[in-house]
Each structure stands twice: as C-alpha cells, then as structure tokens.
Structure 1
Amino acid sequence: MYRILIVDDEKDERNVIRFLLNKYQFPFDIMEADNGKSALELLEGESIDVLITDVKMPFVDGMELAARVRALSSHVEIVFFSGHDDFTYVKKALTLRADNYILKPVKPGEFKETIEKVLEHIKVYEQELEEKEANKDFMKKHILYQVLNQTPIEVLEKDYAYVDFSFLDDYNRMILIHSDQSFWDTLSEEENIRLDEKISKVISNSRYDLINLNPSQVILLFKDDCNRLIAYRQLASDIWQQLHQVYRIGCFFSVSEEIKTGEDILSIYNKLDRYLDDRFFHPHTYIYPVDSPTVASHELGAEDEQLIQDIEQSIQQMEEDKLTEAVQRLIQKYEQQGSTSHIYLRFLFSRVLQLLSKIVPEYSDGKINKEIEKVYTLPHFEDVQQLIWQVHHKAAQKIKEEKNSSKDNIRVVQQYIADHISEDLSLDILAEKAFLSPGYLSDKFRQETGYGINKYIKNVRMTKTKELLRDTNRKVNDISKAVGYNSVSYFIKNFREHYGMSPKKYREMNQDKG
C-alpha cells in the first residue's frame, strides 16, 4: 500500500477524489488536509508517496506546498487540480515536476489515467531503488571477498574510489565455516537458496552478511555489537546441527573475537583459519578455538608463547637448528621447576607435540591423539621430555629430507592443479600426489607461493575461465565444468565476486580483443 495526501479547502472536492480512488481500487492509504498549512503540519510526522493538491488555498497555496514537499522528499509524486485553466499555473507546476494538472470538475476517466501513470512512476522508482541497493550490496560483498583474499584495503580504496569503505566498520564478529569436503560448489541454485534460508532462520535475530570464499569455506560477518562470545558459539552450534542433519557433512566452525575496526577483518580471518589447524588435535570438536576443560583457567605466559611461536616458525621455515634450540630452551626452563602446575605443563607440551607432529606424515589423527593422551597420563616430567624428543627427532629428520626438495614438491602440486583443473582438487588428494601430510603441504604451499592452496586453485580456475571466455565460443555451462565447477550458478557467482562482472559481460568486453 502507498500513502496519498489529498489537500483541498473544499470537503466535497476531497470526497470526490477519495470516492474515485476507492472506486478504481487504487492501493492507497488515504489522508486529507483542508489547506496547505495543515498539510505541512501533518507531514512533520508522516511520509507520503503521492500529493494531490488544489492550487488555490488559504494560508499556504498548492504551489508553495508542492515546493516545500519537494524539498522534504524528491521522489514524492505530485498532482495539481484546480478550476483555473491558466497556463501560468501549468508552467509553474511543470517546474516542480508535477506528474499532471487536472481541471475541476474532475473527469473520472482522466483521473484514472493520471493515477495509473503516477503508480507507474512509483514502481519504476522502486525498481531503480532495488537495483541500486542490489548493486550496492553486491559491491560491498565483492570488496569483502577481496579483503578476505588478502587484497590490502588501501589498494581497494583506490580501485573503488566511489565506494564509502566505512561499511567495513559495521562488522563486530565473524564465524568461519569450513568443510574438508568440496561442499558449497556442489549445491544447485535452488539448494543454495534453501541452505541460505536455513541459516537465515537460525540467525533470525542477527544482522549479517554471508561470503562464499571457496568451495570449502563460507564466512558469516555479523553487525550485532551486543552479543557475547558465548552467544556466537551457541549460534555456531545451532548452524552445525542444521548442516549435519540435512546434509550429513562434517563442518568446523571458527568463532572470532570482537572486531574493533574494518582494518582488523583480514587479520582476524587469518586467525580463524589458523584455529582450524587444531582439528588435527581435536578430531571430534567442531567449534574453535578450543576451550580445553583441563586448562580453562590457564593461558600461556608471554615467554612460553614466544617459544611456541619460535618452534612453529622454525618448522615453517625448515630450520632444523632453530627448532632444536627452541625445544631445548622450553624444556630446560621447566626441568628444575617444581612449583609450576602439572596441568599447565601438560597443556604446554601437548601444544609442542602437536606442532612437531604436523610435519611427520606417519602421525595420523589417531596416532597423534594417542601420543597426546600420553602427555596427560605420564607420571613424570622426564617421561614427557623423552616423548617430546622422540617426536622432535622424527620432525628434524623430516626437515632434512624435505628441505632441498620442498620447492620441487610445490611445483609438482602446481603442475597437477594445472593439468587436472576440471577435477576435484582437495587438499588430501594434492598431499597424496606430493607425498606430504596435508597440514605440512598447506603450510609449505603458502610459504613458497604466498597463497593458500584454495585461493591458488581458485585463481588458476578463474584465469583459465578468462582464457576460455576470450578465446573460445564454448558455452558458460561447459566452461564451468571444464574449470572444475559442478554448479553453474556457484561458478557465475564466484566469477562475479572475483572480477566484479558476469562471465557473459567479460566475454562481451574481451572476446574481440583476443
């Protein structure tokens, strides 16, 4: 329903207009005022879509009323009616962008035609507004997608100078949803809509945006600033139940800390991604970061946290000597201390064991879990030390073996991706081809190329897509399958997010240039 205001100092004239509006069943809530002054007072607390006003009235005439209404809202439709067939009035009405000028007495047919034209204008305006909002929403999601894929905000601000980037500050928290299967691109357009509806139903009381990062990951960005972390962890649990019940897939959720500014979005996303590395340590846990019940009240001290980071960095950089040094320093620190909580020490060295095991392929989920269980059951600290050194020896040996061949392994993976771009390229498959553990391959690939594997695969697929669009006449549906997307709608959506335009538009702009 739209709102219409009839303004005339003669009640009979207002009644005629009301009668005709009802007769032709026009979709209006009808309001009335007996002069321009009363109309302006009414509009202080009400908004309208259409103004029908007499020209000659006491206090404030129709022309002044229209001018002041136009100043309040540029999209209100204005219709004048008067008994004065005067060109001066008509000319002035046109300068106020009035939709028509009707003479009294009002002729029903003329009135009906005029109001139909007014409604048509309103619907055109609404459609333009919807398209503008849709484009605005698309552009925001495109920018978010670029930010989450490591594009610096300052670069995007130059590329999209017409966009107000303050919208990034609206977000207060994130939830990363990850599936080890290639799931999100297997859904049809209808299934995607149903899935969005299910998630939306769970998150009915929150304002959020959803970004498809890759076939394995989706990000939810929330605009609510009143909820505590525990509320979002419960939300993640509710979504997990929906996905598990309906699709029977294994999903993991990583829930962020509070986002202070838009500039923090990328760093917090990277932290969420790292939290998921712990699923190797906690295979039956689906919400991260893990709150271990045995050490809920403990956090690592600054010095211990630095040593843990040194161990992790030395593994990533394949530096055997630095790894041995960092492990040695941590063990020596607590060898002679008898006052430290044994629960804290077990937690600390289970972290070390987890890091060391990531580089050793023989440690499957089950085996490393058993080793970690030992950390919590061994009676003496020297037993824990011995276990740590055993695993350290295997990790150091692996570093020696892999140090000189890691670049070759990455090249093997890159070539396999290029040669099998139309196939499933899961991390497990690629790790098997390179004879590496999935976790180690993921870390090494990022270190060698500067990209995560999922992002690299997507870039290769998008680059191949551009080539096929530019140099061939193959259908978009065929190209989608040729570059590894089973769902055409998901493929088109990813292309639009990646390049800011549809495949069809890209082909139109670039095929002749090939």
Structure 2
Amino acid sequence: MYRILIADDEKDERNVIRFLLNKYRFQLDIIEASNGKEALAQLEKQPVNILFTDVKMPFIDGIELATKARELYPNIQTIFFSGHNDFDYIKKALSLRAIDYILKPIKPNEFQQTVSSVLQNIKTQEKELAQIEANTELIKTHILNRLINKTPLEKLKNEYPSIDFDFLSDYSHMILMQFAEPFFDRLPQEKDTLFFYQQIEKAITNFSCDFIDLNPFQILLLVKINGESSMHTEQIATRIQKQIHKEYGINCFTSTSKKFSSPSEMPSFYEELEKDIEDRFFYSDTYVYPKEEAAPIEDKGYPEADDDLLHDIKNAVIFGDIVSFKQNMNLLFEKYRLNLEISHIYVRFLFSKLLQMLVYDLPLYDKRTINKKLEAIYSCPHFSDIEKILTSVQNEIIKKLEDERKSPKHVIQIVKKYIHKHYQEDLSLNLLSEQVYLSPGYLSEIFIQETGCGINKYIKNLRMEIAKDLLHSTNMKVNDICKNVGYQNLSYFVRSFREHFGASPEKYRQMDRKKKENS
C-alpha cells in the first residue's frame, strides 16, 4: 500500500482531503502534519510515496518541504495546493517536478483526476525501476560468467562503465554443483529456478548467495560474506547436497573454494573447483570436494570392499585410464599403510592377489619372475617393502599403457565430430566416453588438456553459436531454435542465451537486423 502525507496548517482542509481520498476509495495509508516542521519529521521517520502539501505553512513552507522531501526520497510524487494563485509559486512547484498545483477550495473531480494520475505515475515508475534492476542483474550475471572464464577484470570494467563492480566484493566463497544429467532443462514447469533457489535458502540458513547456471550440468553458487556464522563452506555444501536429494531425488556433487580476498582470484579458484570435482569419477559415495584426507583405517579387514577396489584397478587397466589406476592403487596403499591392526597374513595375501591380477592382464613377466616376486611379498619384513614391489609393477604398467593408448588428439577429434553431428540430442559424458571406449574420467581429463575447456562447456558454446547463426540467417521462431539446438525448456534456453551473449534471442535478432539496415 502506498503512503500519502497531507501537510496543512488548517485541520478542516486536511479533513476535506482525507474525506475525498476515502470517497473515491483510494487505497492509501494516510498520515497528517499540521506544519512543515512536523511534516519533515514524519518524512524522516518513514518513507512516503505522495506528498500533498500546502504552499504556505508555519516553520517550513511547502516549497522548502518539497525540496527536503525529494532529497530524502528522489521518486516522491508532490502535489501542491494553496489559496494563493501566484505564478511565482507555480514556477517553483514545477521546478520541483510537482505533479500538479491545486487551488483552494479543492474541486472534487480535479482532485480525483490528479490523485489517479499520481498513482499511475508511481506504478509506471516502479515497473521501469524493476526493468532496470532486472537488466542490471542480467549484466552482472554475464560479467560473472566472463570473469570466471578468465576475462580480465579491467577489460570488463571498461566494457560496462555504468555497472558498479563493488558487487563482486560481496562474495567470499564459491561452490560448484555438478549433476550427472541436465538439471534446469529437465525441471517440471512448476519447479522453476526460483523454486530451486528457495531450496538452496532452506539449506543455507543465515547465509545468502547468488547462482549462475554454467551449462545444463553445472551450477555455480557465489556465497556472500557473513561474519556472524561459523559454518564452514564444506558444511554448507553438504547441506545443499542433502536438500537437493531430498527435494528432487537426485545426487549432485559439489566442490568448495577457499575464501578469496579479491574478485581477481575468482578465475583461478573456479579452475581449482573444476579440477577438484573431477574426483567424483573415482569415489562412488563422496559428494563434497576437495576430498579430505582419509584417517587411518581401524576396521579389521573388509575383503568385500577390497575386492571392489581390485575390480576398479583391473577396469582402469583395461580402459587405459592411468589416472584412475594410480588413484585406486594409492587408495589401496593408504588403506593398509598405517593399519597396524590388520593381520599381516591377510595383507600379504591381498597384495599377492593384486600382483597376479596385474601381470595376468598385462603379461610383463615370465612364471619364474612372478613366483620370485610372490615369495618376496610373503617374506617382506615391513609393508613399505611390499609397497615398493607393487609400485615398481605399477610404473611398468603405466609406461606400457602410455605407449599403447590412442593418441589423445585423435580421440578428441572423434568426440568433437560426434558432438557436432548430435548436438540436437541429449549428450552426456558417459555417452561420449562410450564412443571412444574410454572411461568418463579419462576422457574429461584429456579433453580439457587438448581444448582448454570442459566437454559440457564445449557443448554449450557450440549450441549457443548455432542458435546465434540461426537467429542471424533464418526467420525461425525462438521456440523452434531452442529445440533445434538441443534444449527442451524454452525459459532455460533464453536465460542461457542471455548469459552467454548479454541479450535475449529476440533482442539479439533485433540488434542484428538494425546492423544489417545500417550497413
């Protein structure tokens, strides 16, 4: 409800105005003041939308009151009324952007028309301000996208001189969320991005954050500075993961950044987040990264868990995934390196089984050499000696895998070709890795090494460029372009396009046509 302040030193006049406001059923919160000084005190105490003031009053006249009111509230709507038909007063009123100047006695029809006009002005102004704010927020999101993708901060400031870049200093941490399937693009219509943000707010009480969806599989949360809470970012990430699983029934993986002291650190911190979250391919039950160092294991042997680990090592060798191979070998070493409560007989049996499995899949040794190493495992006085034997075998296997595995550049070309041919379809890391017979983790790693960006980002960039070309060269509807480039959710496609190019598809098409006309 809007608030109106009636300032007049004559009570009867104030009563007339109140009567007319009620008669014409204007929904307004009405407050009164009997002089300019009292009116100014009311303005300082609470915001006012409309000032209805007499020109001549004790202490502070209406002209001075209106001046001070505009200093407090630049968008306040002012209506002067007076019994003095004086042109000088009218000129001053108009210089203060008064809506109208009403002479006493007030004519009811004139009064009704003036107040209606004022209310319409307020509503129009609110819409304009909301549009400006929405455009500003869109530009800020676009700036964040480019900043984390290593566009220099100074360059961004030069490109957007009207934007106050102090908003970047509000953020203290980043949390990267990764989904196995497209997230926003698959949300039911009743569960839009606003609903998602509400779920995040439930998980991080006492904190606030902004978010940008980087691509269908990734969302970046920017946590704002909060000096009152002692909760760590890892705890926030854990709560978010649990809330998302509770609400949507899906798992998301998160990686958390350290606290950054300057916006210029954000690109390097984001790069670390992407590297940290790649570990999700190696851990089936860990959702928050970077993964903490495992404490010494106190369990007295878990053969089933060990069998799973041996199975993962075997698959890593089969798929030529050196990263996963080394990772799982290290896990096995760490599990027993300080686990003094486990029977040394079981440890010797486990690592002799590992040795036989490795040399069986890649026959590096003859039978005599294998038996010699097995005897050494059973006679080693310390676990570190067993570790040295297996590390030596591991290094030989890695060398052989490096010699035999396919050229990464060739693999990337195959993947790129497949993406360009099937960009209209659902594309996932698992699907692409199947095309080249590699594990998802290894494909992701070499794709970044060879192209400088992740697969999801590459797919999004391709789809955005194709959408831009279609807007430029065809009259296709935006909804048809959305489907043509592989998106199912129109609102998500429009938002993604805005964040990528800084304008909606329709706006981009209009600007493109103007360029053609002017050229």
**What band does the TM-score fall into relative to the shorter chain?**
0.7 to 0.9
Structure 1, unaligned runs of 5 or more: 297-349
2:398 is equivalent to residue 395 of structure 1: yes
Contact 1:178 1:253 in 2 (8 A): yes
**Structure 1, residues 151-173: CA drift from partner, whole Å, max 9, x if none?**
33233223223222221111011
Q: Which of these residues, 335, 348, 358, is aligned with residue 376 of structure 1? A: 335
**Residue 433 in 1 paired to residue 435 in 2?**
yes
Distance in 2, Cα, partners of 1:449 & 1:359:
25
The residue correspondences of 1:57-96 to structure 2 (distance < 5 A) are 57-96=57-96
**Which segment is superposed worse, 360-369 or 109-118?**
360-369
Q: Which moved further from structure 2: 358-367 or 228-237?
A: 358-367
* Aligned positions of 1:63-462 closer than 5 A: 63-193=63-193, 194-226=195-227, 230-294=231-295, 361=320, 369=328, 372-377=331-336, 378=347, 380-402=383-405, 405-462=407-464
Amino acid at match of 1:151: T
Across the two proteins, how many residue pairs are aligned to each other? 457
Q: For 2:24 and 2:251, how far apart are their aligned partners in 1?
A: 58
User: What residue is the counterpart of 1:503 in the other structure?
Assistant: 505
Residues 163 and 357 (structure 1), Cα distance of their counterparts in 2 relative to 1, 3 Å cut: farther
Kept after mapping to 2: 8 A contact 1:172/1:221: yes
RMSD across aligned C-alpha pairs, in angstroms? 2.9
The one of 482, 491, 494 aligned to 1:492: 494
Please list the CA deviations of residues 96-125 of structure 1 after superposition, one character each: whole Å capped at 9, or x if unmatched: 211111121222222222111111111111
Shift in Å, 1:140: 0.8
- 1:472 is aligned to 474
Quick check: 1:149–1:455 contact (8 Å CA) kept in 2? Answer: no
Letter in 1 for 2:510: E
> Given the two structures, how large is their TM-score scaled by the length of structure 1?
0.81
Greater Cα offset, 247-256 or 190-199: 190-199
Q: For residues 164 and 392 of structure 1, what CA distance do their matches in structure 2 show?
A: 54
Query: 1:362 deviation in Å?
Result: 6.0
User: Alpha carbons of 1:357 and 1:382: their partners in 2 closer, same or farther (altered >3 Å)?
Assistant: farther
Q: Is the partner of 1:432 in helix, strand or coil?
A: helix
Distance verdict in 2 for CA 1:228–1:188, change over 3 Å: same
Partner of 2:304: none
Measure the CA separation in 1 of the matches of 2:155 and 2:149: 13
| Unaligned 5+ runs, structure 2 | 298-308, 337-346, 348-381
1:147-192 per-position Cα deviation (integer Å, ceiling 9, x unaligned): 2233332332232232222211110112211112233322244322
| Deviation readout 1:214-259 (Å, 9 max, x if unpaired) | 1111111111332667443333233222322333322111122212
Letter of the aligned partner of 1:254 in structure 2? Answer: S
The 1:271–1:138 alpha-carbon spacing in structure 2 relative to 1, beyond 3 Å, is same
2:332, 2:91 → 1: CA distance?
A: 88
CA distance in 1, matches of 2:154, 2:223: 23
Is the partner of 2:31 in helix, strand or coil? strand
Counterparts of 1:232 and 1:270 in 2: how far apart (Å)? 17
Kept in 1: contact 2:317–2:325 (CA 8 A): no
Q: How far did 1:199 drift? A: 2.4
Q: Is the 8 A contact 2:201 2:208 kept in 1?
A: no
Question: What corresponds to 1:483 in structure 2?
Answer: 485
Residues 7 and 246 (structure 1), Cα distance of their counterparts in 2 relative to 1, 3 Å cut: closer
Q: Is the 8 A contact 2:208 2:224 kept in 1?
A: yes
Output the CA distance in 1 between the equivalents of 2:190 and 2:317.
39
Quick check: 2:83–2:103 contact (8 Å CA) kept in 1?
Answer: yes
